[in-house]
Amino acid sequence: MMPTLLIVDDHDSFRSWARRVLTDDGFEVVGEAADGAAAIDAVAQLHPEVTLLDIVLPDMTGFEVASSVHRETIVVLTSSRSSDDVDPDLVAAVSAGFVEKADLSGTALLGVVARDVG
């Protein structure tokens, strides 16, 4: 069974696209959030197994959100930036890993969370 998922991104178009792609790949998307505060609330209310979390949000960074919720959900950070532009130590401190938005698929997401789901 595929894990439940929360998608956090400030762009409606990306959230819609990610929902379609990840639902088609078997994920159950239980919610969406457009900023950090809404993400923290959604994790507390929806209890997603996995949270796909954009690094750049309007009210706080994805790293700040991840540090608040990473004990309650498996966090996978995402960005349109290259993984070369993201500090791997910071990613590892608050999340299961990182997936570039251009590379997002159910397979890529599962590859990051596989060791933590189950």
Scanning the structure block, which residue is given the tokens 């991840």?
66
Could you tell me the pTM of the whole model?
0.94
Question: Domain 1-81 belongs to what architecture?
Answer: 3-Layer(aba) Sandwich (3.40)
Domain ranges of the chain: 1-81
| Chain centroid offset of residue 87 CA | 17
- Render pLDDT for 21-41 as a digit per residue (tens, 0 to 9): 999 999 999 999 999 999 999
Beta-bridged to residue 28, according to DSSP, are 4
Pair 1, 35: CB distance under 8 Å: no
pLDDT band at 72; cut points 50, 70, 90: very high
pLDDT at 85: 85
